[in-house]
Structure 1
């Protein structure tokens, strides 16, 4: 982590050399020296970071480097703040500048003096570094072993010695893997088992490896633990010994002196005519597989290679060439988790009733991770069962048990190992997840915007920082450090989740390295110097001796008290970069923040704020302004001064009226919106009867990737089309007309962009725009209140990548037909309020990938779609407010003549809106009478069909 801090600082130092930054005498020289020394120290920090937990002297040295980096960052930011004040223009500003001149000069002398003091400390740190260099060089020789986990990894051998009674939940995955091993074609196949650390990959594969059916099938076999020491010659030599031992032959003479190529030839010759099984346990990098794969012949004897890995890309890449298979190991189900927990905690006895609730809460924190369940159970097994308070304390603060508890030491190391393996640029990004509360679903774009605002994303030529941040996120997903919690209908990641115990570990790391302070209780002591503060549930008391002058980020989660920044932080926080007040009990815009020069991210999402003051124009570095789900309907013209603004979100959705034309409200557009040329996302602005000027201004926003327009008039169409043609980076476009009967005129758009992925058109269309069928990247298409005279399916059916299609009052015809071999990738289809629709036909071979079909408010449709039985992959069929006659045809009591058509569909529902909520009836309930009451879902729990 010290490497991350120094790298981050060096990144901040660069502009000082590229731009003319004013110093007092000697200041520039101090910065030059500082940069040179930090670059020298950084070369050794990765090794030092990895070793600091096992070497106290190194740990102290790394902490000193980290602290100096943080303090230097603060000093440089204060210097830049002074520089910004010097560049204020205007007569009154000049008067202020003159009055502050002496004050700023004093501040510059102070900053130069602080830099001098910092450099003096750097010199001392560098002297220690010279003395430690020999230790670091020795560590460098072993760095591969360190990153493979050699320091603690011997305990992995315990997984190979577990008795059958010590493991649960492996029967089903083991049976699947046995089938993959002993059946299938004769070519050599690679089978990868992947998942986060602690899931039991090694345990599962060892039980597979020892299975009698597997041993009988593969007479030649070997188990190789890659992470013990990945030196290719040692690994290959180990393979030779094991393979010759299993065939009961002596190893070749001169084995110890063989080169890598000779070892590969030896292995290949041995296996050439044998059906073999080789397991490579704990592979971390694809080059490790690349280094050994050519020693394993593809001999058409049905041979198999099994790889266990935490990294999804290693799993998939190793299988591609052989057309092998990837098994994603999942956490234990709830029942099996409980069985393992009880067995280990109470040694086979039952759980006392008075501990049942606490045990369930503790078990939920383990989230089905076998290693976590066993480790936490080991701690609980030593506790007095009569001391409920001790059990409750562990439930409240299981993270605290990681410190100094030997029984949790291995779990901590297993989970920490993936973190230690991260490159420096991902460590900050991952530690940042500790700001979120337990079980919090992390919104993908929120996280990406926060990373960017914090400066964690390294810019690369030809790519936006958002695209690079996506790569960072995908790398963390690939390493199974975070999991996907929810996706959009077209497969994009929407929300993320981090395992609760892994979160506890990074909270400890964040606190130890003064990266983030998480405050859950008023009595919790703050660090002396807070850099990032995340407040959960209750506002902290003001600590007189705790400085927040260097605070960079402030988050509130679940706070319900009345909020006053001035009372909470009376001394202010001039270096604040991120202010996230999403869901906070805030009624007015916090005026205290308008002088925050460094503020890049401001979220007031889902607050009661309804007015944005003119002073917001002072936030010159603001990149994200999130006012979604507020009552803000207009922005002051001063917003146009925010030249760095990249994401502007100002809209509100009425979820209870998702199918209503006016279910969404936007913001009045600024006439000169084109000045905000850094904008990437602009949702949603009203056209405002701007005589076409606003629509023309949009053409200047050439960086836009998502655009949402409301209250569009027919006469605005030509200017809008002209602007859209200039927006070559557009990925999502949403257009809503001024009224249900107002026409959206898009006929002037002649050359749509090939990268457009999502299109939402709400309003009357004279004809379906002729350019839509050429949108080969389109994955989502919503047409609402279109009232087309011609069947739109004819024009849409050949879109090659369309996954989700929603049609609401889109067509006035009586029949729609889905043709054979059309809509090849469609997975979700919604048909809503087709007032004249009497018949839906599905030809055999149409929509072969369809998984969900929703039909609602089609009053004349009294039969299920003809040919629905051909949709073999259909998982969910939903009817919303449909005629009783149609639903009656699906009864199971013999009177439902069409039940056979939907019998293959796992979930079939009929839903009605009743008294402010949805009454949901499963078709399975139609046995004796119709209808039988099912469960009732509140409107906000219902999937929002029309949400953009």
Structure 2
């Protein structure tokens, strides 16, 4: 509990610090008291760090930790409610004499009320201080040695592109070659090959190494990797397979599972295919999808990873499962050295001996070795540092012979205070979910979990947080951008379970899905509500800070359920403190009552805006704290009246909906917009003359239906900050002119499904361009860029990476 409470205190004190700086005008005589509360909570954080280092604490200490967590939350609620009340006051100039008198009376009452509340908080803090003897002298029970952090960390020695995936694999060559052989050989009948083993043994790592091997890549033209997980739905699984194999979105057609099985079987009947089903927990998941994979005598293969031998036996009784072996001592030591970024020659003989003892306690489990190595990679390469870790780890193993769980605790405890709440927050994502960096960073920033650092933007700091978590092997990189930054990542099941347990322990968030055992009403004061697939909603929404919805499983009734929850909360006059409303892919209209939520920093708004029109537009204008907005209007809605002039903090904007003729004027966009995504806007006029005036823009996506004109021009000297440009499905576009001097910082250009485009634009002047992706273009355009005789080859020959995917016409 101490570790979770420390993360809570870190998040709350960070927010209070921001409030004191940014919202001082609203604190009206209590600013000094708020500063005092912040200082005292920081002192308590020192006590919590000490408690977190200990291996056992008594019941009295547990009560103190719980009290510290609760008083931190109470302080946050009081201060933010004060700011909310002040912001919602009617401007003085517009008040009548009677209203001014009433307002003065209400101000006096509120000031007294706030003063009383803060005084109560101070009293609670003073009582806690006395109880734990100034936060540090209480007997915390038996303890192992602490793990003090070294001032001279070795993070600079960690490679910049430190992948937590198959590039770090050691000792799997023989196993991967054997599995490749079984996939590529063995006759023309369909075969199911299963990798079976305990959590942390390396099933997914081995499967990924095989899947990405050159032999398998060329042996199977039609391939798909599907994450299954412990909680799944037949519909969601089949939709994922359709999407990966056929680039088809079955949800748009509202196909039943039976119809999708038929569609997949028909598609694969004459093809040699490979389907990887990763992390199957029970035979039910296999039964849902097996009919989609025909025995077509073309050598179709299915590769499973599972902890359950029954799944392997049911999937293919004639195919013996492969069970990965624990790593031997030599391979374990090599993997450990790689993770701590050291050569054996750098270690003294005594360090080598100690290091091998540390590794031996991991029992040959790759996950345990990787986590322990990631932990030590942040420390000095010294016998003293390794010895302290060894002593702490050995003490824990005497209590419970489970190396993975104990190393996980050590890895979490070793995180710096600013990373702990960010790590815990990752637990909101569903099991085996591929986490897109942009969404995660937007959520972190909206929640106030990212602290200012040097002269970096908060977005850049958040990206560094991600790199730190991957360096410690707490996140697995699944995809990187052309500039090396993380584009997508995942958490191992065991690591996610740790984040979830800390989140629940600290009342940091509450997740509701079909396996939720306790009714939502039993949980008091929910601050972050996360729905994976459940109708079980909290009744108390008065202190709710964020609502994040996932629809991982093709959940029928998703939109209706979300609407019911929002309407219920509005009836109770909730959502006043709401910062994040992320309604992933649903089409529910937001009622006018939500306009009381003025604290929002991230908002995903979907549905029919026509019935609300100006009221919604006016509400959006008043969201002064808004940083991320996704606005998806229903068909028939018009977005011409949008104006983001007052949304000065808005840096990421996604607009999907119709405009009458052209894009908004440049001055109506937020001044610091860095990311803009447009879709189905149906512009009749070229949007580029407006877009190139957005001087902070770094990422731009023009997607399906954005522009219905034949010519587009990027003029010289503009788009100076633009680094990523993606253009897709502009089916009428014939000529795209890029003048010399335009987009001088561009690194990635993606052109997809612009079937009418006659030739490539003049790209030879953009010397910063590192990657060009051309997808689903007619043959004549692909021919123009072929080396060395293509008419447009000279325009792209300087680009280091050019990828072309052809479409059949």
> TM-score band, normalised by the shorter chain?
0.5 to 0.7
Greater alpha carbon shift after TM alignment, 16-25 vs 566-575: 16-25
Q: 1:7 to 1:64 in 2, by over 3 A?
A: same
Partner of 2:496: 503
Equivalent of 2:673 in 668, 671, 679 = 679
Distance across 1 between alignment mates of 2:61 and 2:337: 30
The question of 1:721 aligning with 2:696 is answered no
Partner of 1:623: 627
Greater alpha carbon shift after TM alignment, 409-418 vs 429-438: 409-418
Equivalent of 1:647 in 647, 652, 655 = 652
Partner of 1:62: 65
Partner of 2:473: 480
1:318-374 deviations in whole A, cap 9, x for unaligned?
A: 9xxxxxxxxxxxxxxxxxxxxxxxxxxxxxxxxxxxxxxxxxxxxxxxxxxxxxxxx
1:616-646 deviations in whole A, cap 9, x for unaligned?
A: 3232222111235964652533444322221
Partner of 2:576: 574
Q: 1:603 to 1:136 in 2, by over 3 A?
A: farther
Alignment of 1:249-260 (within 5 A): none
Q: Give the Å deviation of 1:600.
A: 0.9
Partner of 2:592: 591
The question of 1:514 aligning with 2:507 is answered yes
Q: Give the Å deviation of 1:92.
A: 7.1
- After TM superposition, the score normalised by the length of structure 1 is 0.53
Partner of 1:669: 663
The secondary structure found in structure 1 opposite 2:125 is: helix
1:509-557 deviations in whole A, cap 9, x for unaligned?
A: 22221111122358355321111111232222664xxx32111011233
Partner of 2:158: none
Q: 1:40 to 1:772 in 2, by over 3 A?
A: same
Aligned residues: 595
Q: Give the Å deviation of 1:735.
A: 5.3
Root-mean-square deviation (CA), in Å? 5.1
Partner of 2:48: 45
Distance across 1 between alignment mates of 2:12 and 2:745: 40
Partner of 2:330: 208
Partner of 1:217: none
The secondary structure found in structure 2 opposite 1:649 is: strand
Distance across 2 between alignment mates of 1:196 and 1:475: 24
Q: Give the Å deviation of 1:699.
A: 4.1
Asked if structure 1 preserves the Cα contact closer than 8 Å seen for 2:51 and 2:140, the reply is no
Q: Give the Å deviation of 1:414.
A: 3.6
Q: Give the Å deviation of 1:411.
A: 5.0
Partner of 2:532: 536
Partner of 1:634: 639
The question of 1:758 aligning with 2:752 is answered no
Asked if structure 2 preserves the Cα contact closer than 8 Å seen for 1:426 and 1:472, the reply is yes
Partner of 2:602: 601
Q: Give the Å deviation of 1:672.
A: 4.3
Distance across 2 between alignment mates of 1:475 and 1:481: 9
Asked if structure 2 preserves the Cα contact closer than 8 Å seen for 1:309 and 1:315, the reply is no
Q: Give the Å deviation of 1:581.
A: 1.3
Partner of 1:125: 128
Distance across 2 between alignment mates of 1:282 and 1:424: 27
Alignment of 1:103-502 (within 5 A): 103-130=106-133, 133-134=136-137, 142-144=145-147, 172=172, 204=326, 206-208=328-330, 238-239=350-351, 279=356, 281=358, 308-310=369-371, 412-485=405-478, 493-502=486-495
- After TM superposition, the score normalised by the length of structure 2 is 0.61
Equivalent of 1:731 in 723, 735, 749 = 723
Asked if structure 2 preserves the Cα contact closer than 8 Å seen for 1:452 and 1:465, the reply is yes
Q: 1:641 to 1:591 in 2, by over 3 A?
A: same
1:134-176 deviations in whole A, cap 9, x for unaligned?
A: 46899999321899xxxxxxxxxxxxxxxxxxxxx99856899
Distance across 2 between alignment mates of 1:78 and 1:315: 43
Alignment of 1:909-920 (within 5 A): none
The question of 1:72 aligning with 2:75 is answered yes
Distance across 2 between alignment mates of 1:673 and 1:455: 28
Q: Bigger relative contact order, structure 1 or 2, given CA contacts below 8 A and separation 6+?
A: 2
Distance across 2 between alignment mates of 1:776 and 1:17: 42
Asked if structure 1 preserves the Cα contact closer than 8 Å seen for 2:377 and 2:472, the reply is no
1:426-479 deviations in whole A, cap 9, x for unaligned?
A: 221121122233343333321111111111111234322222222222222232
Distance across 2 between alignment mates of 1:501 and 1:141: 24
Partner of 2:735: 743
Asked if structure 1 preserves the Cα contact closer than 8 Å seen for 2:20 and 2:34, the reply is no
Distance across 2 between alignment mates of 1:196 and 1:827: 39
Distance across 1 between alignment mates of 2:431 and 2:608: 25
Distance across 2 between alignment mates of 1:555 and 1:569: 17
1:585-613 deviations in whole A, cap 9, x for unaligned?
A: x43233332221111111246x6777763
Distance across 1 between alignment mates of 2:90 and 2:359: 56
Q: 1:509 to 1:647 in 2, by over 3 A?
A: same
Distance across 1 between alignment mates of 2:376 and 2:41: 38
Asked if structure 1 preserves the Cα contact closer than 8 Å seen for 2:56 and 2:140, the reply is no
The secondary structure found in structure 2 opposite 1:460 is: coil
Distance across 2 between alignment mates of 1:467 and 1:506: 23
The secondary structure found in structure 1 opposite 2:707 is: strand
Distance across 1 between alignment mates of 2:523 and 2:732: 57
Asked if structure 2 preserves the Cα contact closer than 8 Å seen for 1:47 and 1:140, the reply is no
Distance across 1 between alignment mates of 2:403 and 2:375: 24
Equivalent of 1:527 in 512, 517, 523 = 523
Partner of 2:224: none
Q: 1:427 to 1:99 in 2, by over 3 A?
A: same
Asked if structure 1 preserves the Cα contact closer than 8 Å seen for 2:511 and 2:529, the reply is yes
Q: 1:20 to 1:603 in 2, by over 3 A?
A: closer
The secondary structure found in structure 2 opposite 1:310 is: helix
Asked if structure 2 preserves the Cα contact closer than 8 Å seen for 1:23 and 1:112, the reply is no
Partner of 1:829: 804
Q: 1:674 to 1:408 in 2, by over 3 A?
A: farther
Q: Give the Å deviation of 1:732.
A: 1.6
Q: 1:592 to 1:280 in 2, by over 3 A?
A: farther
Q: 1:72 to 1:817 in 2, by over 3 A?
A: closer
1:98-128 deviations in whole A, cap 9, x for unaligned?
A: 7545334422321221111111111122223
Partner of 1:880: none
Distance across 2 between alignment mates of 1:204 and 1:494: 31
Distance across 2 between alignment mates of 1:469 and 1:222: 32
Equivalent of 1:553 in 529, 543, 546 = 546
Asked if structure 2 preserves the Cα contact closer than 8 Å seen for 1:226 and 1:280, the reply is no
Q: Give the Å deviation of 1:66.
A: 1.9
Larger Rg: 1
1:755-799 deviations in whole A, cap 9, x for unaligned?
A: 4322438487787544435333331343887999997538x88xx
- Structure 1, unmatched stretches of 5+, are 148-168, 178-194, 211-220, 228-234, 244-277, 285-306, 319-405, 653-663, 798-812, 833-855, 858-948
Distance across 1 between alignment mates of 2:92 and 2:731: 45
